Structure 1
Amino acid sequence: MSVKRVVGTLAIVVALGACTRITDRQGFLADQELIAAISPGVDNRASVEKTLGRPTFISKWDENSWYYLARTTSQLAFLPSKPTSQDMLKITFDGAGNVAAVTRDQTLDQIVQVAPSGDKTPVYGRDSGFFADIFGNIGAVGAVAPGPSRDQ
Protein backbone atom coordinates (compact mmCIF):
# COMPACT_ATOMS: atom_id res chain seq x y z
CA MET A 1 0.00 0.00 0.00
CA SER A 2 1.40 3.37 -0.94
CA VAL A 3 1.84 6.29 1.44
CA LYS A 4 -0.72 8.34 -0.51
CA ARG A 5 -3.41 5.70 0.01
CA VAL A 6 -2.70 5.47 3.73
CA VAL A 7 -2.82 9.25 4.14
CA GLY A 8 -6.00 9.45 2.03
CA THR A 9 -7.66 6.70 4.06
CA LEU A 10 -6.71 8.41 7.34
CA ALA A 11 -8.08 11.72 6.05
CA ILE A 12 -11.41 10.10 5.17
CA VAL A 13 -11.64 8.39 8.57
CA VAL A 14 -10.92 11.66 10.39
CA ALA A 15 -13.45 13.56 8.24
CA LEU A 16 -16.17 10.96 8.90
CA GLY A 17 -15.35 10.96 12.61
CA ALA A 18 -16.11 14.69 12.71
CA CYS A 19 -19.65 13.94 11.50
CA THR A 20 -20.70 11.87 14.49
CA ARG A 21 -24.09 12.54 16.03
CA ILE A 22 -24.08 14.42 19.35
CA THR A 23 -26.88 13.57 21.78
CA ASP A 24 -27.65 15.89 24.69
CA ARG A 25 -30.14 15.53 27.55
CA GLN A 26 -31.46 18.64 29.30
CA GLY A 27 -33.76 19.11 32.26
CA PHE A 28 -35.35 16.81 34.81
CA LEU A 29 -34.10 13.23 35.10
CA ALA A 30 -37.30 11.26 35.65
CA ASP A 31 -37.19 8.28 38.00
CA GLN A 32 -40.25 6.12 37.29
CA GLU A 33 -40.49 4.82 40.87
CA LEU A 34 -40.45 8.33 42.35
CA ILE A 35 -43.08 9.56 39.89
CA ALA A 36 -45.28 6.55 40.68
CA ALA A 37 -44.96 7.37 44.41
CA ILE A 38 -46.77 10.74 43.95
CA SER A 39 -50.44 10.11 44.76
CA PRO A 40 -53.36 12.53 44.36
CA GLY A 41 -55.05 13.25 47.69
CA VAL A 42 -52.07 11.88 49.67
CA ASP A 43 -49.12 14.11 48.77
CA ASN A 44 -48.79 17.88 49.08
CA ARG A 45 -46.38 20.55 47.79
CA ALA A 46 -43.75 19.81 50.44
CA SER A 47 -43.77 16.05 49.87
CA VAL A 48 -43.60 16.48 46.08
CA GLU A 49 -40.62 18.84 46.45
CA LYS A 50 -38.88 16.35 48.77
CA THR A 51 -39.55 13.48 46.36
CA LEU A 52 -38.86 15.09 42.96
CA GLY A 53 -37.04 18.29 43.86
CA ARG A 54 -37.93 21.80 42.73
CA PRO A 55 -39.97 21.93 39.52
CA THR A 56 -38.47 23.02 36.22
CA PHE A 57 -41.00 25.85 36.25
CA ILE A 58 -44.24 26.89 37.92
CA SER A 59 -47.09 28.19 35.79
CA LYS A 60 -47.23 32.00 35.64
CA TRP A 61 -51.03 32.03 35.44
CA ASP A 62 -51.80 29.25 37.90
CA GLU A 63 -49.40 28.67 40.80
CA ASN A 64 -51.12 25.34 41.42
CA SER A 65 -49.42 23.76 38.36
CA TRP A 66 -45.85 22.50 38.60
CA TYR A 67 -43.97 21.26 35.53
CA TYR A 68 -40.98 18.93 35.37
CA LEU A 69 -39.51 18.98 31.85
CA ALA A 70 -36.83 16.85 30.17
CA ARG A 71 -35.71 16.98 26.56
CA THR A 72 -33.27 14.95 24.48
CA THR A 73 -31.73 16.62 21.43
CA SER A 74 -29.56 15.29 18.64
CA GLN A 75 -27.10 17.24 16.51
CA LEU A 76 -24.95 16.31 13.54
CA ALA A 77 -21.59 18.13 13.49
CA PHE A 78 -22.21 21.88 13.12
CA LEU A 79 -25.89 21.68 12.15
CA PRO A 80 -28.57 22.99 14.55
CA SER A 81 -29.79 20.56 17.19
CA LYS A 82 -33.23 18.94 16.86
CA PRO A 83 -35.38 17.55 19.69
CA THR A 84 -35.76 13.76 19.51
CA SER A 85 -37.84 13.18 22.66
CA GLN A 86 -39.51 15.15 25.41
CA ASP A 87 -40.98 14.18 28.76
CA MET A 88 -43.27 16.62 30.58
CA LEU A 89 -44.67 15.82 34.01
CA LYS A 90 -47.41 18.16 35.26
CA ILE A 91 -48.49 18.09 38.89
CA THR A 92 -51.65 20.04 39.72
CA PHE A 93 -52.48 21.04 43.29
CA ASP A 94 -55.84 21.99 44.79
CA GLY A 95 -56.47 25.15 46.82
CA ALA A 96 -55.22 23.50 50.03
CA GLY A 97 -51.88 22.52 48.41
CA ASN A 98 -52.62 18.80 48.03
CA VAL A 99 -51.92 16.93 44.79
CA ALA A 100 -55.04 16.90 42.64
CA ALA A 101 -53.64 15.29 39.46
CA VAL A 102 -50.44 13.94 37.96
CA THR A 103 -50.29 13.94 34.15
CA ARG A 104 -47.49 12.99 31.82
CA ASP A 105 -46.95 13.89 28.17
CA GLN A 106 -44.11 12.35 26.16
CA THR A 107 -44.85 13.84 22.73
CA LEU A 108 -43.00 16.47 20.75
CA ASP A 109 -46.23 18.38 19.92
CA GLN A 110 -45.59 21.27 22.32
CA ILE A 111 -42.09 22.19 21.11
CA VAL A 112 -41.92 25.48 19.24
CA GLN A 113 -38.90 26.88 17.40
CA VAL A 114 -38.47 30.56 18.19
CA ALA A 115 -36.51 32.52 15.63
CA PRO A 116 -35.14 35.94 16.56
CA SER A 117 -36.33 38.81 14.38
CA GLY A 118 -32.97 40.17 13.34
CA ASP A 119 -29.41 40.24 14.57
CA LYS A 120 -29.55 43.55 16.46
CA THR A 121 -31.37 44.55 19.61
CA PRO A 122 -33.03 47.96 19.30
CA VAL A 123 -31.89 50.47 21.90
CA TYR A 124 -34.21 53.39 22.45
CA GLY A 125 -33.01 56.80 23.54
CA ARG A 126 -30.07 58.83 22.34
CA ASP A 127 -28.71 57.69 18.98
CA SER A 128 -24.93 58.10 19.07
CA GLY A 129 -22.08 56.80 17.01
CA PHE A 130 -18.69 55.31 17.82
CA PHE A 131 -16.85 58.60 18.38
CA ALA A 132 -19.70 60.15 20.37
CA ASP A 133 -19.59 57.16 22.74
CA ILE A 134 -15.84 57.49 23.22
CA PHE A 135 -15.49 61.27 23.42
CA GLY A 136 -18.99 62.17 24.68
CA ASN A 137 -17.89 62.84 28.28
CA ILE A 138 -15.14 65.33 27.45
CA GLY A 139 -15.96 68.54 29.26
CA ALA A 140 -18.73 66.91 31.28
CA VAL A 141 -16.51 65.68 34.12
CA GLY A 142 -16.60 68.14 37.00
CA ALA A 143 -19.09 70.40 35.24
CA VAL A 144 -21.76 72.02 37.39
CA ALA A 145 -25.28 70.97 36.57
CA PRO A 146 -27.65 73.76 35.59
CA GLY A 147 -29.95 74.86 38.38
CA PRO A 148 -29.98 77.15 41.42
CA SER A 149 -26.61 78.25 42.68
CA ARG A 150 -25.32 77.00 46.04
CA ASP A 151 -24.27 80.52 47.07
CA GLN A 152 -27.83 81.78 47.36
Structure 2
Amino acid sequence: MAKRSIAAIIGLGLALTACAGMREHRGFIIDKSLAQAIQPGIDNKDSVTKTLGRPTFTGQFDPNDWYYVSRNTTQLAFRDPRVTDQTVLHVRFDQAGNVTAVNQTGKELIAAVDPSGDKTPTLGRKRSFFDELFGNIGTISQPGLPGSRQQ
Protein backbone atom coordinates (compact mmCIF):
# COMPACT_ATOMS: atom_id res chain seq x y z
CA MET A 1 0.00 0.00 0.00
CA ALA A 2 2.85 2.39 0.82
CA LYS A 3 4.51 1.67 -2.55
CA ARG A 4 1.31 2.56 -4.39
CA SER A 5 0.94 5.88 -2.58
CA ILE A 6 4.58 6.75 -3.21
CA ALA A 7 4.18 5.88 -6.90
CA ALA A 8 0.98 7.98 -7.05
CA ILE A 9 2.74 10.96 -5.45
CA ILE A 10 5.68 10.68 -7.87
CA GLY A 11 3.30 10.34 -10.83
CA LEU A 12 1.31 13.37 -9.70
CA GLY A 13 4.51 15.38 -9.26
CA LEU A 14 5.69 14.49 -12.77
CA ALA A 15 2.31 15.39 -14.23
CA LEU A 16 2.32 18.78 -12.51
CA THR A 17 5.85 19.63 -13.64
CA ALA A 18 4.90 18.79 -17.25
CA CYS A 19 2.27 21.55 -17.15
CA ALA A 20 4.64 24.19 -15.77
CA GLY A 21 4.61 27.53 -17.53
CA MET A 22 7.61 28.79 -19.44
CA ARG A 23 8.72 32.40 -19.83
CA GLU A 24 10.90 33.40 -22.70
CA HIS A 25 12.54 36.60 -23.92
CA ARG A 26 13.36 37.09 -27.57
CA GLY A 27 15.11 39.91 -29.32
CA PHE A 28 16.86 42.99 -28.12
CA ILE A 29 17.05 43.93 -24.44
CA ILE A 30 16.06 47.59 -24.48
CA ASP A 31 17.48 49.81 -21.74
CA LYS A 32 14.89 52.58 -21.40
CA SER A 33 17.40 55.20 -20.30
CA LEU A 34 19.65 54.48 -23.30
CA ALA A 35 16.66 54.50 -25.66
CA GLN A 36 15.54 57.87 -24.31
CA ALA A 37 19.07 59.23 -24.78
CA ILE A 38 18.75 59.00 -28.58
CA GLN A 39 17.87 62.53 -29.73
CA PRO A 40 16.74 63.62 -33.21
CA GLY A 41 19.09 66.17 -34.76
CA ILE A 42 21.91 65.29 -32.36
CA ASP A 43 22.65 61.58 -32.89
CA ASN A 44 23.68 59.78 -36.06
CA LYS A 45 24.07 56.14 -37.15
CA ASP A 46 27.46 55.78 -35.49
CA SER A 47 26.31 57.16 -32.13
CA VAL A 48 23.13 55.01 -32.19
CA THR A 49 25.23 51.92 -32.95
CA LYS A 50 27.56 52.77 -30.05
CA THR A 51 24.62 53.40 -27.69
CA LEU A 52 22.21 50.59 -28.64
CA GLY A 53 24.21 48.28 -30.86
CA ARG A 54 23.15 46.91 -34.23
CA PRO A 55 19.41 46.92 -34.91
CA THR A 56 17.26 43.79 -34.86
CA PHE A 57 16.42 44.54 -38.49
CA THR A 58 16.41 47.44 -40.94
CA GLY A 59 13.53 48.63 -43.11
CA GLN A 60 12.77 46.54 -46.16
CA PHE A 61 12.05 49.54 -48.37
CA ASP A 62 14.28 52.09 -46.67
CA PRO A 63 17.57 51.06 -45.01
CA ASN A 64 17.44 54.31 -43.00
CA ASP A 65 14.72 52.80 -40.77
CA TRP A 66 16.18 50.79 -37.89
CA TYR A 67 14.07 48.61 -35.61
CA TYR A 68 14.98 47.24 -32.18
CA VAL A 69 12.45 44.58 -31.16
CA SER A 70 12.03 43.06 -27.69
CA ARG A 71 9.35 40.45 -26.85
CA ASN A 72 8.46 38.49 -23.71
CA THR A 73 6.17 35.46 -23.97
CA THR A 74 4.64 32.90 -21.63
CA GLN A 75 3.56 29.41 -22.55
CA LEU A 76 1.69 26.77 -20.57
CA ALA A 77 2.51 23.18 -21.54
CA PHE A 78 1.80 22.67 -25.25
CA ARG A 79 -0.34 25.73 -25.84
CA ASP A 80 0.67 28.52 -28.19
CA PRO A 81 2.92 31.18 -26.63
CA ARG A 82 1.14 34.35 -25.48
CA VAL A 83 2.88 37.73 -25.72
CA THR A 84 3.05 39.44 -22.34
CA ASP A 85 5.22 42.40 -23.29
CA GLN A 86 6.61 43.78 -26.54
CA THR A 87 8.59 46.89 -27.32
CA VAL A 88 9.54 48.09 -30.79
CA LEU A 89 11.96 51.01 -30.96
CA HIS A 90 11.98 52.60 -34.43
CA VAL A 91 14.85 54.95 -35.24
CA ARG A 92 14.60 56.84 -38.53
CA PHE A 93 17.58 58.49 -40.24
CA ASP A 94 17.83 61.00 -43.07
CA GLN A 95 20.02 60.48 -46.15
CA ALA A 96 23.05 61.98 -44.33
CA GLY A 97 22.70 59.43 -41.49
CA ASN A 98 21.33 61.79 -38.81
CA VAL A 99 18.44 60.75 -36.55
CA THR A 100 15.18 62.39 -37.60
CA ALA A 101 12.69 60.50 -35.37
CA VAL A 102 12.55 57.97 -32.55
CA ASN A 103 9.26 56.12 -31.95
CA GLN A 104 8.45 53.43 -29.43
CA THR A 105 5.40 51.14 -29.55
CA GLY A 106 4.18 48.22 -27.49
CA LYS A 107 2.12 45.10 -27.97
CA GLU A 108 -0.97 47.05 -29.03
CA LEU A 109 0.19 46.79 -32.66
CA ILE A 110 0.29 42.99 -32.68
CA ALA A 111 -2.18 41.71 -35.26
CA ALA A 112 -4.18 38.57 -34.49
CA VAL A 113 -4.52 36.51 -37.65
CA ASP A 114 -7.29 33.94 -37.54
CA PRO A 115 -7.14 31.24 -40.22
CA SER A 116 -10.21 30.62 -42.37
CA GLY A 117 -10.83 27.07 -41.13
CA ASP A 118 -9.30 23.86 -42.37
CA LYS A 119 -10.01 24.42 -46.08
CA THR A 120 -8.59 27.02 -48.40
CA PRO A 121 -11.34 28.88 -50.23
CA THR A 122 -10.85 28.79 -54.00
CA LEU A 123 -12.68 30.11 -57.02
CA GLY A 124 -14.05 27.76 -59.64
CA ARG A 125 -15.57 24.34 -59.48
CA LYS A 126 -15.28 22.04 -56.50
CA ARG A 127 -13.51 18.76 -57.14
CA SER A 128 -13.33 15.75 -54.90
CA PHE A 129 -10.12 14.05 -53.88
CA PHE A 130 -10.55 11.35 -56.55
CA ASP A 131 -11.34 13.95 -59.23
CA GLU A 132 -8.08 15.69 -58.42
CA LEU A 133 -6.18 12.40 -58.33
CA PHE A 134 -7.54 10.77 -61.49
CA GLY A 135 -9.01 13.75 -63.37
CA ASN A 136 -6.08 14.20 -65.76
CA ILE A 137 -5.96 10.62 -66.98
CA GLY A 138 -6.51 10.57 -70.72
CA THR A 139 -6.53 14.33 -71.20
CA ILE A 140 -2.91 14.65 -72.28
CA SER A 141 -3.26 12.74 -75.54
CA GLN A 142 -6.30 14.66 -76.78
CA PRO A 143 -5.60 16.63 -79.93
CA GLY A 144 -5.36 20.37 -79.59
CA LEU A 145 -3.97 20.38 -76.05
CA PRO A 146 -0.48 21.64 -75.33
CA GLY A 147 2.00 18.78 -75.21
CA SER A 148 -0.07 16.43 -77.36
CA ARG A 149 1.22 15.12 -80.67
CA GLN A 150 -0.82 16.01 -83.69
CA GLN A 151 -0.47 13.90 -86.85
What is the alpha-carbon distance in structure 2 between the residues aligned to residue 97 and residue 128 of structure 1?
A: 57
In the other structure, the counterpart of 2:16 is 16
Deviation of 1:65 after TM superposition, in Å, equals 4.0
Give the aligned partner of residue 58 of structure 1. 59
Which deviates further from its counterpart, 91-100 or 73-82? 91-100
Which residues of structure 2 form unaligned runs of 5+?
Answer: none
Q: Does 1:140 align with 2:139?
A: yes
Alignment of 1:51-90 (within 5 A): 52-53=53-54, 55-56=56-57, 58=59, 65-90=65-90
Q: 1:141 to 1:72 in 2, by over 3 A?
A: same
User: Match of 2:9, SS?
Assistant: helix
Task: Tell me the distance in 1 between the aligned counterparts of 2:142 and 2:48.
Answer: 60
* 1:110 Cα deviation from its structure 2 partner: 3.0
Aligned partners of 1:59 and 1:66 also within 8 Å: no
Measured after TM superposition, the shift of residue 104 of structure 1 is 3.2
Cα gap change, 1:142 to 1:97, in 2 (>3 Å): farther
**Residue 118 of structure 1 corresponds to which residue in structure 2?**
117
Residue 64 of structure 1 and its aligned partner are, at CA, apart by 5.5
Q: What amino acid sits opposite 2:137 in the alignment?
A: I
Q: 1:76 to 1:146 in 2, by over 3 A?
A: closer
- For the 8 Å contact 1:71–1:83, the answer to whether it is kept is yes
Q: What is the SS of the residue equivalent to 1:5?
A: helix
Q: Kindly tell me: are residues 99 and 141 of structure 1, through their superposed partners in 2, closer, same or farther at Cα, counting changes over 3 Å?
A: same
Give the % identical residues.
Answer: 36
Query: TM-score with structure 1 length normalisation?
Result: 0.69
Would you say the 8 A contact 1:20–1:76 is kept in 2? yes
Q: Which moved more, 1:6-15 or 1:67-76?
A: 67-76
Tell me the secondary structure at the aligned position of residue 109 of structure 2. Answer: coil
Going from structure 1 to structure 2, the CA distance change for 1:74 and 1:146 (only over 3 Å counts) comes to: closer
What is the distance in 1 between the residues matched to 2:72 and 2:139?
A: 54
Which amino acid in the other structure matches residue 119 of structure 1? D
Aligned residue-pair number: 146
Structure 1 alignment gaps of length 5 or more: none
Matched with 1:2 is 2
